[in-house]
Structure 1
Amino acid sequence: MLFGFVGLQLLAALFSPAPALSLGLALLRSSYVVALLAVGYAMGRPAALRPALIGYALVALTAVVTTLLLTTGQPFSTRLVHPYYTSVSLGLAGAFGLLIAATWRGGPLWWRVTGGTLCLMMFLWSASRGPLIALIAGLAAALLVSAGRRWWAVLLGVLALGILVLTLQQAGPNSVIGRFKDSTLNGRGIYWADALAAARTHPWGGVGPYQLGPYLTTQYGPDSCQLWLPSRVYHLPACPPLLNRIRGAWLIAHNTAFHLLGETGIIGLSGWLALMGAAALAAWRSRDPLINALTWATAAIGLVDTPTFVPNFGHAELYWLASGIGIALSTQQQGVDDGESVGFTVMPPWQLAPAAPLIACLLLGYFTLPLWLESLQPSATNRPVLQALTLPTRLTAGENVTVFLKADVPQGQFMLYGLACLANGPCRNVVQTAIKASLSGWTRLTLKGLPPGHYRLRLQLSDTYHGTQLRVERPVAKLVRVIDVE
């Protein structure tokens, strides 16, 4: 299985636009994954992962101190911030910490309560919705595998989940945790469309590992690289020039399958999902609550994020370590955890491979759910049209310019994205604004200043009326102009 995984990643790299670079990066990433699995297999016990709760508690304390120092007024009215963890990473750290605390058998109660409380605070204060999916899936998996042995754990888990749901439902519209009730995609539909567009250009091998960033048109720009918090907001130093050159490596498509399709094509995607399928099967056969909680929580959030990609903030590393432990437990006849013996069915490692493609297909169907929902959406009867743009052909470098766009837009909610792309270079997001129907049809826009060069300006209109639906957000109208910036 591991040889097949590495082989498919390397084969995909050969079909990418830069095979030499992609081959080296694919070898590094796949070797790192295999090394984590090997270390987890050598650990062999879920108890080896419990110190991660200490790390997550320290992350929570660091985030609280950072938020209190940088936030004036009411800190609880804003989302939790951290020197380098994003809001989603903080939420996922809180979810993983809660899963570790909830499945810790035989550990000190005071530490489980303390660590669990800090992680719960971090989870709620981050107000990130993707980790909520992970937490629910992780708790459900842990409860399913432990229901026969610990009925009281099932009862406590159901009560805790019910209290959490009631708390989120009672949140006001202006509170931080009220964001959990927001079902918009926050631009993910555009990211998915960009990744799929890159995959259509290079279907077999993708564009190469860590090289999808420039294709994510609304994310990639001069400020894409951030070592810390946004420098413009918190007046912190930005990336040095050397790191800024590879700023695209930090950007993701916020969907495991779509990102893999863009980076590694069909070949790399099949190998990655097959390995995830084998890990999921091993976790289920291990019957260990913690291993199943981490495995299925990570798979669940893969719909709106890329939690298995390495290197990571520790979440992906924890997942692959847990997968290695799950493989070790699933091959044992009897496991011992804190003095408690648990029975296992013998399953040689090579017997995980035949069932892996089936689970991989199930994961693929789950990750591509936005495409399935998009196919069920009825086509619009009146499509918008971008008719004219008042734009000088020569612009001054670095200066914003005011233009007027004439658009025939029906009733609804539309978002306009403006991208300026060099002939053989990256694209820059020059405008992003909502567009509504008007009597005259003219809309005033301000385009951001550009460095000198010959650009292809592309204005595209996306329908956001169904923005609460889980679907790929494709452009419904386009307008292209060529401009020179001097």
Structure 2
Amino acid sequence: MRLLPFALALAPLFPPLALLAPLFLGHLRRLSPWALGLLGVYALSVLLPALGAPEPLAFPLALGRVLYVLGLVGAGVALYAGASSPTQALKPLGYGLFLLYITAFVATYLTFGDQAVQQRLMHPFHSPVGLGFMGAMGVLLAVYLRYPWPFRLLLGLLGGAVLLLSASRGGMLALLVGGAGGLLFRGRGLWALGLAGLVLFAASTLDTPISERFFQAHLSGREGLWLRAYEVYQAHPWTGVGPYVLGDYLKGTLFGECFLFPLLEARGLTCPDWLRPLGGLWSFAHNHLLQALGESGVGGA
């Protein structure tokens, strides 16, 4: 358990570490009966539709998802048990996000050089949308947790810069919701909202196509993914097609049959032939409700 905070810090840099989550299933026994019951309802909502899904791998993949999600909950329980307070348990994540921000800036510059200012901020293992959410998370951690003040200031400013340069509207929405929620529980929510306003003001003053995304309502082609996911749901309304399988039905709608992270694609790296059949595993409908409906039908959504 001593290595768990260290793993939490490294998780943003090395996402595959999350696959170790099932190792923490045993910590779920610390939860109250009603919490375990709620997790049981979740597990059934994923497993039962998969039994009737048309894809043969639907149930094994559903079982894998349940073990993964419950393991993440168990890891959270273990972190809480080993820390003096809930906020203390999350502190290592801020240090990992700081390293993530630095590597994103370096990787984007090494890929695009002087043209980096015209590109959305990228990372070898994260999309610009994901970076935007993690930028918002860094701001919220800096606002709500008591880091040493120099690091706290740096984390908040870098998180805001990542959010601005990734041009993630979803990340901005997350920051606004997190700040507004903080007003109900902690007065520091005003700081988060203030930084969100500062990011939007900076975006309005920058004359670049990237910063203009914050004020545009276009869907960037996602409507095609939404329509295709809805068509899959209509064909299998009660069971969906199974977790991680919906991507096979979405392939070729917006991107190719198989694509890597944008930064890797920008460096000329493409899916090798052996990986192409698995390209649908990480294709996403860019809409959580439609994703859930397409994967598990009405019951699983």
**TM > 0.5 between the two?**
yes
Conserved? CA contact 1:220–1:248, under 8 Å: no
- Within-5 A mapping of 1:355-366: none
Structure 1 residues 63 and 161: alpha-carbon distance in aligned structure 2, compared to 1, 3 A threshold: closer
The alignment status of 1:164 with 2:199, answered yes or no, reads yes
Equivalent in 214, 222, 230 of residue 188 of structure 1: 222
Alpha-carbon shift at residue 155 of structure 1 (Å) = 4.7
C-alpha separation in 2, matches of 1:245 and 1:183: 34
Determine the structure 1 residue equivalent to 2:94: 53
C-alpha separation in 1, matches of 2:299 and 2:189: 41
The alignment status of 1:89 with 2:102, answered yes or no, reads no
C-alpha separation in 2, matches of 1:246 and 1:158: 41
SS in 1 for 2:243: coil
C-alpha separation in 2, matches of 1:47 and 1:76: 36
Determine the structure 1 residue equivalent to 2:246: 212
User: Aligned AA for 2:299?
Assistant: I
C-alpha separation in 2, matches of 1:178 and 1:227: 23
Deviations, residues 369-397 of structure 1 (Å, cap 9, x unaligned): xxxxxxxxxxxxxxxxxxxxxxxxxxxxx
The alignment status of 1:26 with 2:66, answered yes or no, reads no
Alpha-carbon shift at residue 220 of structure 1 (Å) = 5.7
C-alpha separation in 1, matches of 2:273 and 2:263: 17
Conserved? CA contact 1:63–1:80, under 8 Å: yes
Of the two structures, which has the highest relative contact order with CA contacts closer than 8 Å and spacing of 6 or more? Answer: 2
Determine the structure 1 residue equivalent to 2:19: none
Structure 1 residues 162 and 91: alpha-carbon distance in aligned structure 2, compared to 1, 3 A threshold: closer
User: Aligned AA for 1:191?
Assistant: L
Structure 1 residues 74 and 146: alpha-carbon distance in aligned structure 2, compared to 1, 3 A threshold: same
- Within-5 A mapping of 1:215-364: 215-216=249-250, 217-219=252-254, 221-222=256-257, 224-226=258-260, 229-231=263-265, 233-236=266-269, 238-269=270-301
C-alpha separation in 1, matches of 2:131 and 2:189: 26
Provide the aligned length of Structure 1 versus Structure 2. 258
The alignment status of 1:137 with 2:177, answered yes or no, reads yes
Deviations, residues 81-105 of structure 1 (Å, cap 9, x unaligned): 2222111011111111111111113
Structure 1 residues 141 and 229: alpha-carbon distance in aligned structure 2, compared to 1, 3 A threshold: same
C-alpha separation in 2, matches of 1:155 and 1:212: 40
C-alpha separation in 1, matches of 2:116 and 2:72: 38
Conserved? CA contact 1:219–1:251, under 8 Å: no
Structure 1 residues 158 and 75: alpha-carbon distance in aligned structure 2, compared to 1, 3 A threshold: closer
Equivalent in 99, 110, 132 of residue 69 of structure 1: 110
C-alpha separation in 2, matches of 1:131 and 1:99: 12
> For structure 1, which segment, 120-129 or 197-206, has the greater mean C-alpha deviation from structure 2 after superposition?
120-129
SS in 1 for 2:263: coil
Equivalent in 143, 150, 156 of residue 102 of structure 1: 143
When the two chains are superposed, the root-mean-square deviation of aligned CA atoms in Å is 1.9
TM-score by length of 2: 0.79
Conserved? CA contact 2:87–2:145, under 8 Å: no
C-alpha separation in 1, matches of 2:150 and 2:264: 37
Conserved? CA contact 2:46–2:62, under 8 Å: yes
User: Aligned AA for 1:181?
Assistant: F
Determine the structure 2 residue equivalent to 1:150: none
Alpha-carbon shift at residue 157 of structure 1 (Å) = 4.1
Alpha-carbon shift at residue 230 of structure 1 (Å) = 4.6
Structure 1 residues 158 and 211: alpha-carbon distance in aligned structure 2, compared to 1, 3 A threshold: closer
C-alpha separation in 2, matches of 1:256 and 1:98: 24
SS in 2 for 1:225: coil
TM-score by length of 1: 0.50
User: Aligned AA for 2:58?
Assistant: S
Conserved? CA contact 2:224–2:254, under 8 Å: no
C-alpha separation in 1, matches of 2:291 and 2:205: 35
Write 1 or 2 for the structure with the bigger share of helix: 2
C-alpha separation in 1, matches of 2:193 and 2:131: 24
- Within-5 A mapping of 1:380-419: none
Between the two proteins, what is the percent identity of the paired residues?
36
SS in 2 for 1:241: coil
C-alpha separation in 1, matches of 2:182 and 2:41: 30
C-alpha separation in 1, matches of 2:144 and 2:51: 43
Deviations, residues 417-455 of structure 1 (Å, cap 9, x unaligned): xxxxxxxxxxxxxxxxxxxxxxxxxxxxxxxxxxxxxxx
C-alpha separation in 2, matches of 1:212 and 1:40: 28
SS in 1 for 2:275: helix
C-alpha separation in 2, matches of 1:265 and 1:68: 43
Conserved? CA contact 1:214–1:220, under 8 Å: no
C-alpha separation in 1, matches of 2:176 and 2:190: 15
SS in 1 for 2:47: helix
Unpaired runs of at least 5, structure 1: 148-152, 270-486
Structure 1 residues 156 and 115: alpha-carbon distance in aligned structure 2, compared to 1, 3 A threshold: closer
